[in-house]
């Protein structure tokens, strides 16, 4: 296949439909690779925590470092594609992604693992926005709804296969193999990008607008560090947290001023003049906040509080991917419906799934977790297509790559922020709940004299006291996680009124 003077989306020659299908299949595979990697580490977080002697908030860096690195580097996708061409960028990123995944599996310490996960996120950052831009550019606008639903299957199959296969292989071997298993997938996708991803135009000679990029990156990184370190450092009573907050605020202010006054800014502010795209940015930010939070909270909760093995945790997390797949298949046909109604439905499904998770007890059955996760995944599938269609419905083709990069940057940043806030809330409420529960456990409490309540917890025996302390800690930890799910519910509902501002072409 050589570069064509006619855009592939308008091509009518023999075999054009098959050529478009090959491009779509390749881009779906690229998305599958990225989505599988984001979720595959979650199932083994408890095993990594034990192997690397990390605390719950420290091990969360394995997830958040990857997400924030992706958020920081995603805006580069548009410039990289314009400068070097989508074929070269896609091939390089897929190959580098596989090498970084191998390095994660070989890491000997938490610090090394966090660095390699960040590298994995940074290298993989352009993959999803680039793939989406290629798909939208390959098909005519009239088919974007169905095509985006098919393209979204990559982000569906990844969360299904990743946690299930990762949980099984981690239990059979160890956590390192959840990263080793990514390598053959990366090689397979690399063959596809070599064969089917091509450029229509030569790369531009535009230089990267470094000041805007550095200001935006500084804001994203400082905000993430402030949120991740806040609970451990006692928030704004700490000079460190104040420093990160000041850096984030100054960097954001300087970025806005620079973008408004520069001749060629890093991100074109004219994108936000498009009403649907501006609203879509807010919606996808909240979508990102909801997307991966349950998958980060549930593994440590199920293993640390309820004693679930990795294989069962992987099975339960796989339910989310199953629900998302059903949602995407539905949207292949429902994409013609009013997107505003589907967006409201999706956020309400997220809230209901969060309500179910917020009513779990310390010993939930697998079904108690399976169905809420499947429902949450179904809500993700219902939301993704209409939010994408609304956001890009009025964007000119020449701005697709840059708009797609901004779209996915905001989504990833929303994920990293909400994960950090949810972990901080869970840790804070665990400590508060432990203090409140412990002060009620005294030899003078009426319940202490009732054998059917006290059981083996003899308050006059060291072993009994230790056992009681462990149970109080377990109950307090569960309360912390349940409070985090209540926060999830509130996040799902707060954005619903904004949907009324969306303009839909009739």
Q: What percent of the chain has pLDDT over 70?
A: 86
Q: Report the pLDDT value the prediction gives residue 7, as an integer from 0 to 100.
A: 44
Higher pLDDT, 140 or 425: 425
Q: Does position 355 have pLDDT exceeding 90, yes or no?
A: yes
Q: Where do the domains of the chain lie?
A: 11-208+266-435+474-501, 209-265
Q: Report the pLDDT value the prediction gives residue 3, as an integer from 0 to 100.
A: 41
Q: Report the pLDDT value the prediction gives residue 352, as an integer from 0 to 100.
A: 94
Q: Report the pLDDT value the prediction gives residue 250, as an integer from 0 to 100.
A: 93
Least confident of 230-239, 339-348, 419-428: 230-239
Q: Which two tokens stand for residue 209?
A: 């607008």
- pLDDT, tens digit, 9 for 90 and up, residues 456-500: 566 666 676 777 778 788 888 889 999 999 999 999 998 888 888
Q: Which of 85, 149, 94 is nearest to 125 (CA)?
A: 94
Residues 6+ apart with CB under 8 A from 294: 320, 353, 354, 357, 373, 376, 485, 488
Handedness of CA 247, 251, 252, 254 (dihedral sign): positive
Q: Does position 51 have pLDDT exceeding 60, yes or no?
A: yes
CA distance 136 to 129: 11
Least confident of 61-65, 154-158, 258-262, 337-341: 154-158
Query: DSSP strand E in 402-448: where?
Result: none
The whole-chain average pLDDT of the chain stands at 79
- pLDDT, tens digit, 9 for 90 and up, residues 360-410: 888 888 888 889 988 998 988 888 888 888 888 777 766 776 777 788 778
pTM of this prediction? 0.74
CA distance 12 to 149: 23
Least confident of 107-121, 136-150, 196-210, 351-365: 196-210
At how many degrees (to 10) do helices 110-124 and 16-40 cross?
A: 160
Q: Which of 234, 239, 266 is nearest to 72 (CA)?
A: 266
Q: Report the pLDDT value the prediction gives residue 445, as an integer from 0 to 100.
A: 62
Q: Report the pLDDT value the prediction gives residue 506, as an integer from 0 to 100.
A: 53
- Burial of residue 28 (CB within 10 Å: 0-12, 13-18, 19+) is buried
The answer to whether 48 touches 58, Cβ cutoff 8 Å, is: no
Query: What is the CATH architecture assignment of 11-208+266-435+474-501?
Result: Up-down Bundle (1.20)
Question: How many helices (H) and strands (E) would you count in the chain?
Answer: 22, 0
Higher pLDDT, 87 or 464: 87
CA distance 172 to 434: 35
Q: Report the pLDDT value the prediction gives residue 96, as an integer from 0 to 100.
A: 92
Residues 6+ apart with CB under 8 A from 237: none
């Amino acid at each position: 296949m050589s570069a064509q003077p006619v855009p592939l989306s308008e091509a009518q020659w023999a075999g054009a439909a098959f050529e478009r299908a090959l491009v779509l299949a390749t881009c779906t595979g690229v998305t599958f690779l990225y989505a599988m990697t984001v979720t595959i580490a979650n199932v083994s977080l408890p095993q990594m925590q034990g192997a690397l002697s990390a605390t719950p908030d420290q091990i969360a860096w394995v997830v958040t470092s990857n997400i924030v690195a992706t958020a920081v580097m995603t805006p580069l996708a548009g410039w990289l594609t314009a400068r070097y061409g989508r074929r070269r960028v896609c091939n390089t990123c897929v190959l580098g992604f596989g090498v970084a995944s191998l390095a994660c599996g070989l890491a000997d310490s938490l610090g090394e693992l966090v660095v390699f996960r960040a590298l994995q996120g940074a290298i993989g950052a352009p993959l999803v926005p680039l793939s989406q831009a290629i798909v939208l550019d390959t098909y005519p606008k009239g088919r974007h709804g169905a095509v985006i639903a098919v393209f979204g299957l990559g982000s569906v199959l990844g969360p299904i296969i990743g946690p299930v296969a990762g949980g099984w292989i981690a239990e059979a071997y160890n956590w390192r193999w959840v990263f080793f298993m990514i390598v053959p997938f990366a090689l397979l996708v690399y063959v596809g990008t070599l064969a089917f991803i091509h450029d229509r135009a030569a790369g531009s000679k535009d230089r990267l607008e470094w000041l805007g990029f550095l200001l935006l990156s500084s804001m994203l990184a400082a905000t993430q560090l402030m949120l991740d370190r806040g609970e451990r450092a006692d928030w704004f009573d700490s000079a460190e947290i104040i420093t990160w907050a000041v850096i984030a605020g100054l960097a954001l202010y300087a970025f806005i001023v620079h973008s408004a006054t520069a001749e060629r800014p890093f991100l074109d502010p004219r994108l936000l003049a498009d009403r649907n795209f501006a609203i879509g940015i807010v919606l996808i930010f909240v979508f990102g906040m909801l997307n991966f939070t349950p998958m980060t909270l549930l593994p440590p909760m199920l293993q640390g509080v309820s004693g679930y093995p990795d294989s069962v945790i992987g099975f339960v997390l796989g339910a989310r991917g199953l629900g998302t797949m059903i949602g995407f298949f539905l949207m292949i046909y429902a994409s013609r419906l009013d997107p505003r109604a589907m967006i409201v439905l999706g956020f309400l499904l997220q809230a209901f799934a969060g309500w179910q998770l917020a009513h779990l007890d310390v010993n939930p059955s697998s079904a108690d977790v399976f169905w809420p996760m499947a429902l949450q995944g179904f809500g993700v599938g219902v939301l993704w297509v209409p939010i994408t269609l609304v956001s890009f419905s009025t964007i000119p083709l020449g701005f697709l790559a840059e708009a797609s990069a901004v779209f996915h940057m905001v989504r990833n940043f929303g994920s990293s922020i909400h994960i950090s806030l949810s972990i901080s809330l869970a840790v804070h409420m665990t400590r508060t709940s432990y203090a409140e529960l412990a002060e009620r456990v005294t030899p003078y409490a009426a319940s202490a004299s009732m054998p059917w309540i006290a059981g083996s917890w003899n308050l006059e025996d060291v072993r009994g006291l230790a056992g009681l302390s462990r149970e109080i800690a377990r109950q307090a930890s569960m309360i912390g996680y349940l409070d985090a799910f209540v926060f999830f519910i509130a996040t799902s509902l707060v954005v619903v009124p904004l949907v009324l501002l969306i303009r839909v072409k009739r």
